[in-house]
Amino acid sequence: MPIQTADTTRVHLRPVTFAHPDAVALNDRVQREYVERYGDDGDVTFLEPAMFTPPRGLYLIAYDENGTPLATGGWRGMDENGEGYENGDAELKRMYVTPEARGLGLARRILAALETDAKAAGRVRMVLETGTKQPEAIALYTSSGYTPAPAKFGYYRFHDLSRCYAKAL
């Protein structure tokens, strides 16, 4: 059932581990959505909980006043490697808003909190990879100051449907 109010003042962001049960459940939901949109096995990028442990990363969940998880997102520190990252990168991962909470500004709120945290941790650029079958994600990122990255990076850098974006922090 859709949430009836656009009042997100009662929604709070809570740092959790990537292994937290709510994080796992939301990750399962976003993976099912990837399968629906792309018809493959979901995002197979290697991720482990330690990658999101401060100060090398952060994982957030947005909860409503009843403790229901509504949205999620994290960043992990990345440095120059064979996958196209640069020293000082923070990579945005697993941004997701449940269908019933879409349109409330939660993704934008999580994105801003992750950018602030990554900058405070000494990261200089936020990067992300998304796909052409996620136009709402592309719209969020471009309206938040992200521009196409000069070179693609990450696991999907050679895939035609992949789009990489970056923003100086």
For residue range 50-91, what is the model confidence (pLDDT) as tens digits? 999 999 999 999 999 999 999 999 999 999 998 889 999 999
**In-domain check, residue 100:** yes
**In-domain check, residue 55:** yes
Q: Which helix (H) or strand (E) holds 62?
A: strand 57-63
**pTM of the full structure:** 0.91
**In-domain check, residue 58:** yes
In the chain, the number of structural domains is 1
Which pLDDT does position 43 carry in this prediction?
78
**In-domain check, residue 79:** yes
Q: Of 94, 114, 99, 76, nearest to 27 (Cα)?
A: 94
Which pLDDT does position 4 carry in this prediction?
46
**In-domain check, residue 169:** no
User: Cα(70)–Cα(152) distance, rounded to whole angstroms?
Assistant: 30
**In-domain check, residue 111:** yes
Which pLDDT does position 41 carry in this prediction?
75
**In-domain check, residue 129:** no
86-107 pLDDT tens trace: 999 999 999 999 999 999 999 9
**In-domain check, residue 128:** no
Domain range for 57: 12-123
Q: What is the CATH number of the domain that holds 44?
A: 3.40.630.30
